[in-house]
């Protein structure tokens, strides 16, 4: 039977909206609605949150890769899902509050580094989902689009907060207001992206990055992520105090002691395989 144009796909096709590969020390989470460029439905939101929560609970998991199935990373909100609301006036604030805001907050608070492997177009909330990750890798054909104003909306999922911090006010305003595609290499030059690689090499690069992170002391990474998050709103004086407090905690970890002993002993360190609870 042919899919009706106004039905969100995937659930109907029996495909899970998110695929999770537990690859030993890291997890690969793939948004899996390729026929809609992995646009967000409620099901996709729920599955992605569950996958992130499970990764956080798995103490063998030291990093997460987030990517998209097919030719896109994520096209933001599924507008077909919204079509169903056309008769009523939808309360988009409610869906932002219920789904998008908690997702971005959860990503930023995850005690694990998250790598976005942007394998194609990242539009609307999909673009800001990628930018909210800790390390953004992009395939050469990827592009980032703040698609919101094209449909009369406001950049969300942290876009209005992240963009000026990443690229400065002038570029943030251009991106947000004009909603033009920003190609991967320009995104890298502007500081939105850690690294651009050939499309065919993207997943290998993401896996290598995850393994490199997984080999580092996990608590140090979690505390570093926490320090950077607090630094985004603190003044210097307050942040110096944050660094003191977090360094105190880091200095008490077994991995720090092991790293120093290994360095002085001129041997490779043997860090703990599991993240501490
Ligand atoms: O609602 C709320 O809760 C508020 C929160 C909002 C958050 C947001 O993200 S708002 C922004 C929503 N997203 C968009 O406005 C982007 C819409 N998509 C596009 O502009 C284009 O598709 C792209 C620029 C992303 C890619 O263009 P292109 O030419 O590479 O691909 P395409 O042919 O347009 O898309 C391929 C298929 O995916 C196509 O389906 P078809 O014709 O093959 O059956 C297209 O309809 C579908 N698709 C792409 N984006 C979405 C989508 N279907 C539903 N929702 C989408 N967002």
> pLDDT tier at 4 (50, 70, 90 boundaries)?
very low
- Pick the closest to residue 152 from 128, 172, 179, 112 (CA basis): 179
Expressed in angstroms and rounded, the spacing between residue 187 Cα and the centre of ligand 1 is: 20
Expressed in angstroms and rounded, the spacing between residue 167 Cα and the centre of ligand 1 is: 25
* Residues contacting 273, CB < 8 A, separation 6+: 25, 60
Expressed in angstroms and rounded, the spacing between residue 177 Cα and the centre of ligand 1 is: 18
Contact 157, 129 (CB under 8 A): yes
Considering only CA atoms, which residue is closest to atom 49 of ligand 1? 36
Mean pLDDT of the chain: 93
- Which ligand 1 atom is the nearest neighbour of the CA of 151? 15
Q: Burial letters for 19-30: b for 16+ Cβ neighbours within 10 Å, e otherwise?
A: ebeeeebbbbbb
pLDDT above 90 coverage of the chain, percent: 89
Expressed in angstroms and rounded, the spacing between residue 200 Cα and the centre of ligand 1 is: 24
Contact 133, 140 (CB under 8 A): no
Instruction: Read off the tokens for 207.
Output: 């896996």
Ligand 1 near 10 CB (within 6 A): no
Segment 161-202, tens digit of pLDDT: 999 999 999 999 999 999 999 999 999 999 999 999 999 999
Specify which residues 118 forms β-bridges with: 138
What's the predicted TM-score (pTM) here? 0.95
Ligand 1 near 80 CB (within 6 A): yes
Check whether 218 has a pLDDT greater than 70.
yes
> pLDDT tier at 214 (50, 70, 90 boundaries)?
very high
């Amino acid at each position: 039977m042919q899919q009706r144009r106004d039905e969100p796909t995937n659930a109907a096709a029996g495909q899970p909206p998110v695929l999770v590969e537990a690859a030993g020390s890291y997890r690969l989470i793939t948004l899996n609605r390729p026929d809609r460029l992995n646009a967000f439905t409620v099901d996709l939101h729920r599955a992605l949150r569950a996958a992130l929560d499970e990764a956080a609970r798995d103490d063998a998991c030291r990093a997460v890769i987030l990517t998209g199935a097919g030719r896109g990373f994520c096209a933001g909100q599924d507008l077909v899902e919204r079509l169903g609301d056309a008769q009523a006036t939808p309360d988009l604030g409610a869906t932002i509050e219920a789904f998008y805001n908690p997702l971005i907050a959860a990503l930023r608070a995850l005690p694990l580094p998250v790598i976005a492997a942007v394998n194609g177009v990242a539009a609307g909330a999909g673009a800001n989902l990628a930018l909210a990750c800790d390390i953004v890798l992009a395939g050469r054909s990827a592009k980032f689009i703040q698609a919101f104003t094209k449909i009369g909306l406001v950049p969300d999922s942290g876009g209005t907060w992240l963009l000026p911090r990443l690229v400065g006010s002038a570029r943030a305003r251009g991106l947000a207001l004009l909603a033009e595609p920003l190609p991967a290499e320009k995104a890298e030059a502007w500081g939105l992206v850690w690294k651009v690689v050939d499309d065919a090499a993207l997943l290998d690069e993401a896996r290598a990055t995850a393994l490199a992170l997984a080999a580092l002391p996990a608590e140090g990474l979690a505390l570093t992520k926490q320090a950077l998050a607090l630094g985004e709103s603190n003044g210097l004086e307050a942040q110096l105090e944050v660094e003191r407090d977090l360094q105190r905690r880091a200095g008490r970890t077994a991995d720090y002691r092991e790293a120093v002993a290994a360095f002085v002993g001129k041997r490779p360190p043997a860090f703990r395989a599991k993240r501490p609870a």
